[in-house]
Structure formats: C-alpha cells, structure tokens
Amino acid sequence: MLTLESKDFIQLSLLLVIASFSIPIARKVSLVEIPILISLGLLFGPGLGVINHSFAEYMIQDFAGFGVGILGLVVILYYESHNINFRVIRKFLLNIISLNTVGMVVTSVVAGVFFSLLTGAPFLIGFLFGAIISPTDPSTLIPLFRKIKIKDDYSGTLIGESLFNDPLAIILVTLAISFIYSGSSYSTLFNSVTGAVGIIGGIPLFLVIQIAVPSVFGVAMGFGIIYLNKYLNFENLIVGLLLGVVLFELTVLYGLGITPFPAIIATGAIVGTFTDKSIFWSRESNFQENLSFLAQGIIFILVGSLITIGDITGYLLQGFILTLIVIFVVRPMAVFISLPPGRSKNKGPAKSWRTKTFIALSGPRGVVSVVEGAVPYSIGLLSGNALLLKWGLVLEIDVTFIVLISILLQTIYLPIVAGRLLPQDATQT
C-alpha cells in the first residue's frame, strides 16, 4: 500500500513527465510552451484528478518552506539575469521606475474599485485585491519574448518592470492588510520602519531598503564568487557553488523580511557579464538554463492544477470578467498614466503610442500574485479577523483565475499584437 509520501513522489514524477510533453505539443500547434503547460495542468488536475489540489497548493506555496513558485522564480530570474542588457535598463530606467511606482498604485486603486463593484466587497478588500495582482510576471514575459525574438529596445521596459516590481507590491499588500487588521505581523520590517519614522517617511525608506540592500548584497556576492574562482578554480563545481549562493541569498533576505529578487538578479547579472567565458562558466550557464526550463514547466503545470471543479463552477465567470478588466482596462490606464505622451530624450521607442499600447497589453500576472493571494485567508485564520475570513478565499480563488487566464490569453495574443503594433525591425531574425 502506498504511503502519503509515496503518492506525493508519484505526483512529482508525473509533473516532470507531463512537463516534457509540452515542447513537442507546442511545436505541433505552433504555440509557446506556457499555455500548453497550463492546459496540461488543467487536464491532469481538475480534469482527470491525477494531480490533486492539495498537492498542487502545497508544492506552489509551501514546499521547502518557500514553495516551488518562489524557488522556481528564483532559478528563472537568476538564469535570465545572465543576459541582462545594462544599456537597455539604463535607457528605460525612468519608464521602469514610473511603471513600478505610479503604475502599481493606479493598478491597486482602480482594480480595487472594480473588484468592490463586482463582488460587493468593501474597498479595503478591493484595494488588497489590486495590490496582490499589481506585479507583472517575469517568468512568463522573459521566455515569451525570447521565443518571439523581440529586441531589447522594445521588451526592455516590460522586462525591467517585471524584474523589479515586487518590493512595491509587498508594500501595497502590507498597507492593505495593516488597514484591515492593524495587529498583523505580515511584514515586521515594514511595521518597524513605519513605527520609527512614521508612515509618510517609512514607505519610501522601506522601498529603498527593499531594493538597495539586496542589490548591493547580490553585487558583492557575484564579484566575490568571480574573485574566489580566479584563485581556487572551482571548475565543474562552480555550478553547485552558485546555486548554493543563490539559495543562501533567498533564505537570508527572506528571513530579514527583504525581497531577495534584486539580489538574485544582481548576482546573475554580474556572473553573466564579468566572467571569463571559460568552459566551466559556459557549463554553469547551460545548467542554469536547463534548470530554468524545468522550473518553468513545473510552475505552470501546478498553476493549472490549483483550480478545483468547485472553483470552476463557482468562480470561473467572475474570475474571467475580472481578468478582462485587469488586462484591457486597468493595465492600459496604469501604463498610459505612468508613461506620458512624447518620446524620451534618448530617442528610444518606449514612448511612441504603438509601443505604449503594446506595453499596456503586456502584463500577465504570475507566481508572486498566487503566493500573495493565499496570505489574507491565512492571516484571517490566525487572527479571526471577520473581513479576511469572509473574503480571503474569494481573493485567493479570483487571483488564481486571473493569473491562469491572463497567462493563457497573453501568451497566445502577444505574438500577434507584437506583429501588428511594433515595427518590422522590432524582432530579431
């Protein structure tokens, strides 16, 4: 008779096997792998019951204390940051900052209003919903843009936005939960900072801490490993060393209440830019690339498996309507308010109306939103707060549908939209 642990390992093995089929299927139907992976998750999750909901929820949110969602995102960001183009980031820095401040606040407020109107929830719950779905998803955008070969000058703003928008999302979610339940310890660092300097000064200080501290830490770790390798020559074990360093960054910063993603991105960028490109560094890059593909496969199958039959019958229509509102109303409003008319001084394309429309239509929600979506109900269970208990599950289910549907829709229509809105030289041959 199979034990519970054996059943979990069988489901884990099936995840890996199922993920491998996404590539030949995607090749056959001429689509990117992501919607195929999600569809396979829906088929083997709520469809056939092979991957059960509780296993998918545990894996995506709680596996190894972080969840496969966060661990996989770490792997994806670390590998993709090997190829960061600093010229592009510097070129569109003001756009990225604007989208990650003004744009996210607009998203939280406007999405909150629509959520409250549609569900009858108080605006504070609506604002919490908007904060949860405010960050965009690099684990969807980066492989998608690589697949359709959009040049950095056109994808740079979107990728930069998605890489760095988690800190403000944390602030917005923390603020919303603090207004609903002032006794929450969801972000002790935020509470400590605002308690010391006040809410007005605390918010920008917290944002600086969330970006500057991990970035400096990540840069130091990256250069430190390169320096050590020159003298000790880790050869093939450089792969294990760097994977260990990245997981160390995740654990330490997460424990301090600081988002680890800027550190991981910084370490990956330093390693990708300043190494000597020897065979061992090439092997490290190839290993991280393969691990990134594996993480992507597992994450998106699990996202599809998170939905239950009860969720589909009870919340599918509401989730679909909210997704359309977020994609085609809220996101465009946030982008066009954040990026005013006119072209930038560097004569880049990022402020032309066609490119802004492309940016406005490119904003899938992802792993971070799924993880954050489970927080309100968890706090409600621990605290007994009536609002969080009443609306927590609704938020969790609606956010899961929004992530699922937005990824499916945008991975299908973005290649078409790019061809219609962007000039011919926007794609690489």
For residue 297, which of 148, 140, 160 has the smallest C-alpha distance? 140
The reported pLDDT for the residue numbered 335 is 94
d(CA 31, CA 22): 10
Confidence of residue 325 (pLDDT cuts 50, 70, 90): very high
Does the structure show a pLDDT above 50 at 5?
yes
End-to-end distance of the chain based on CA atoms, in angstroms?
55
Q: Where are the domains of the chain?
A: 18-205+294-426
Does the structure show a pLDDT above 70 at 382?
yes
Give Cβ neighbours of residue 257 (< 8 Å, ≥ 6 apart).
Answer: 187, 188, 189, 190
Residue type, 259: T
Confidence of residue 82 (pLDDT cuts 50, 70, 90): confident
Q: Token digits for 286?
A: 């190839």
Does the structure show a pLDDT above 60 at 429?
no
Pick the CATH number of 18-205+294-426 from 3.20.190.10, 1.10.1740.10, 3.40.50.300, 1.20.1530.20: 1.20.1530.20
- Evaluate if pTM is beyond 0.85: no
The reported pLDDT for the residue numbered 346 is 47
d(CA 180, CA 379): 11
Ranges assigned E (strand) in 239-367:
none
Pairwise pLDDT comparison (136 vs 23), residue with the higher score? 136
Does the structure show a pLDDT above 60 at 420?
yes
Average pLDDT, the chain: 84
Give Cβ neighbours of residue 220 (< 8 Å, ≥ 6 apart).
Answer: none
> If DSSP codes are grouped into helix, strand and coil, which group holds residue 217?
helix
d(CA 207, CA 197): 14
Mean pLDDT along residues 332-347? 75
Confidence of residue 129 (pLDDT cuts 50, 70, 90): very high
pLDDT above 70 covers a percentage of the chain that reads 92
The reported pLDDT for the residue numbered 4 is 62
Confidence of residue 427 (pLDDT cuts 50, 70, 90): low
